[in-house]
Structure formats: structure tokens, C-alpha cells
Amino acid sequence: ELPKEVTINSKTYPVDAEWFNVSSTILNLTSRKLHLQKDHPVSITRQIIESVFPSPTYLSYNNLDPVVTTHENFDSLGFPPNHPGRAKTDTYYINSTTLLRTHTSAHEAELFAASKSPGYLISADVYRRDEIDKSHYPVFHQMEGARVWDRNTVPNGDIVAAVHRDLDALPKHEMIIEDPNPPFHPERNPLQPSHTPEEAEAVGKHLKRSLELMVAEIFKRVKESHARAGVKEQDEEPLKVRWVEAYFPFTSPSWEMEVWYQGGWLEVLGCGVSQQHILNDAGVPNQIGWAFGLGLERIAMLLFQIPDIRLFWSQDERFLGQFRGVEGNLGKLRPFVGFSRHPACYKDVSFWLPAGSTGAAAAGGKGREGGEWHENDLMEVVRDVCGDVVEDVVLMDSFTHPKTGRRSFCYRVNYRSLERTLTNEEANGLHERVKGEIVGRLGVEIR
Ligand code: PHE
């Protein structure tokens, strides 16, 4: 059943049975490249953001291969060997050293080494085994951005002055910004030993201002589209962003940016001052700079008010038709108008884990040994059998038998197509197949 090799974007890779976990559903999506599909909202969003980071300072790389090495995706960035993100439950592997990138940061090392410009942008499809709900899909699109300054080429070798000059040249913006934390913090967000406080502070300021300008541009487009659609101004929320301290193995200090949206804070990106070892390893030890990574679907959902991440994969004309012509003319950008919601139909499944399986990581917990139960494996089976007709899968109940210690779970699978009404027979048929597959593939026992 298992192939000896797989071909992705016309390159062939040997498959290792112990590691291979990429279903055909996922393999088929490697050719879609929504970020390059004309008039697709992900592509429109990419272009609006690219316009805020213009050439020749920034060059865009939009065709990098999704298959990378564990070295590129993890080791080169300083992920420790036991980092949970490396687990087979979280990452799609082809063999022990080859995987589908989980983030665009996988290309940082090669681009810091090779980029012809002080800044670069990478837009690409990324892959993560994950839960099933409105804002998670195992394939999504990220944009990575980076900008460096070279101690050897800035006037007088003065990085701080050079960064400030570039900062002053950036346009101004008006928005409410919450940024309560110091530019770095000895425990929570440390300065790197090779950076002066002034350097880290200047680079961090340039990073934050650049990303605030990006969000300001998105919201300018949202306002224009609202005006076109007749949304009243008093119904609009003022633009508000906040900076939250964060941790990434490949930046320090690090932050996440959150945007106030529909009554809550929405995380839209991670960023920070690049770890010097990455630049050193790339052969440019005299450079210092920043990097960010953002989720294009998240921003596109804000831009167009798209309510469900599954919609981005729709080939339905009622979806795609709403964006036609926008790529060449942003004056046509309008809020997405949802088509009628079709009825949902949920079905529960209860099962015992295989004897000896602890299920400690069941409810989203990370970090596990091979062979143990993980919820993401169930999610993968559901996607495989049902494609995009499942809206979410929710843990309803768990139980440990007092005598045997055996664990059982009850999950609710919510069947709802974005495009048509599912019949109860159809949902029943899917549900029976889901049950059969989880018994066959995960070794559980239906209760
Ligand atoms: N790669 C990170 C992620 O996917 C985001 C990031 C990019 C953070 C660059 C810092 C710098 O979550």
C-alpha cells in the first residue's frame, strides 16, 4: 500500500515507512499554490502586503519548493532535538530527513546567504497536522519577511544611525498601539550577547513600524471596501494593535502582533531580531536584522471578512467569482458575501484506546512518544475520509476505566458542506467509514 517514492512538484523523494505520514489529500494540495492563483484572496492579500515592502530594498521569492530537510526547517533555526514541533503527530514527513515545511522560516538560512537585496519576502504554502475548526487547515500560506543592515557597509559602521535613517524614511501612520514592554528583557526577552542595547532597540523599532504600516494598509483597504459596500462608518472599529512578548528559537527579542477584530485580539504574526547564529552560519556575520512570519489566510480573513478557512480551497464560482478582477484593480475589492449556510449534521464516535496507550496527549497536548495516541491522528483520518465537509471535530468526553486504567474518548464530528446540503444518509455513510478507518489505522475499539 505504501509507495516506495513520491513525486512532488516533479521531484521524486524516497519514502521511509517509519516516517511517511502524508495522505494523498495533502499531497494533492501541494500543487494548488493559492498564493499564486490569479484573483484568489490569498494572492490578493500577498500583493497588498508586498506593496508595503517595495523593491529594490525587498525582493520577493514566491516559488520555493515545499519539500525541505529537517535541517532547514528545524536545526538551522536552533530548534532543540526534542522540540515538540518535530513530532510525527505535528509535521508531515516523507522520510526521516525530508518533510513538508511547517513554516517559511525554513528558507531563512538560504536567503540570508544568497539574497541580492537587504530585505526579502517569501510567500509559500506550509503544512501542519492540526485540529479541525474554522481557523485551522493542515495547509495554509505564510509570508516571511526579513531585513538586514551590514556593519561593513553602513556609513561609519554605525548600524544604529543607519537603522534610524531608514526608520525616519518610513511613512507615518495613525492607529492605537499598545506596546507596554521594554525593547528587551533579561529573562523574558533577552538581548543577544553580540548586540548592543541601542542596536537591538533600533532594529526592533524598525521591525514594529514596518509591520504596523502593513496592518494600516490592510485596514485602509478594508475601509474602502466597506464604503463601496455601504457599511456605515460608525459600525467600523478603530484600528488597534498590540505587541506581545514571544519566544521563537530563531529570534530574540521576539514579539507577536495582535489586532483587535470583532471584539477580541487576533494573533496575526510572529517576529523578532534574528539570532546571530543564523546570519553567521549563512556567511554574513557582519549583518544584523529582523524577521517576521505571518499567516496570509488570517490577514485575508480580516481583509475580506471570510468566516471559514475551508473557503479558501473552494473551487466554487460563488466563492472565486467574488474576487475576479480585484488583483489588477484594488478599487474593486469588496467584503465577501457568504452564501447560504447549509444545515449541519453531527455524529458522535466513542472508542477505547488500544491497551497500553495513555492518551496523555489527546486533548491537544504536545510532546509524545511514538505509538501513543494523539488527537491529530484522528483529525487526519477524518480529513482523509471526508475532505472538506467536516466543519469541526470536538472532544466531548473522556473516561478512564477505574479497574483497567484504559482510556476512552467521545468525539463529535460536525458534518457541514460549504457548498451544498448533505443528506443524513451521506453523513451516516461518511461516519461509518470514519469509524472503520480509525479502527483499522489507529487500532482503537469502538464502544
Ligand atoms: N516561523 C514562525 C511561525 O511560523 C513565525 C516567525 C517568523 C517568527 C520569523 C519570528 C521570525 O510561527
What's the confidence (pLDDT) of residue 359?
A: 61
Q: Are 284 and 203 in contact (CB under 8 A)?
A: no
**Per-residue pLDDT at 394 exceeds 90:** yes
What's the confidence (pLDDT) of residue 1?
A: 74
Mutate to test the pocket of ligand 1, among 90, 105, 211, 278 (most ligand atoms within 8 A of CB): 105
Cell of 201: 532597540
Residue 331 CB neighbour total at 10 angstroms: 10
Tell me, in angstroms, the distance from the centre of ligand 1 to residue 21's CA: 24
Q: Is 219 left (phi over 0), alpha (psi -120 to 50) or beta?
A: alpha
Complex ipTM tops 0.90? yes
Cell of 362: 489527546
Tell me, in angstroms, the distance from the centre of ligand 1 to residue 423's CA: 42
- pLDDT tens sequence across 339-359: 878 999 999 999 999 987 766
Cell of 171: 511613512
**Per-residue pLDDT at 418 exceeds 70:** yes
Mutate to test the pocket of ligand 1, among 250, 254, 255, 257 (most ligand atoms within 8 A of CB): 250
pLDDT-above-70 percentage for the chain? 97
What's the confidence (pLDDT) of residue 115?
A: 86
Average pLDDT for the chain: 93
Task: State pTM to two decimals.
Answer: 0.90
Cell of 39: 484573483
- pLDDT tens sequence across 176-222: 999 999 999 999 999 999 999 999 999 999 999 999 999 999 999 99
Residue found by looking up cell 474518548 in the block? 409
- pLDDT tens sequence across 104-138: 999 999 999 998 999 999 999 999 998 888 888 99
Mutate to test the pocket of ligand 1, among 90, 101, 103 (most ligand atoms within 8 A of CB): 103
Which residues contact residue 141 at a Cβ distance below 8 angstroms, ignoring those fewer than 6 apart? 34, 35, 42, 46, 123, 124, 125, 126, 295, 296, 297
- pLDDT tens sequence across 44-97: 999 999 999 999 999 999 999 999 999 999 999 999 999 999 999 999 999 999
* Lowest mean pLDDT across 65-69, 307-311, 340-344, 435-439: 340-344
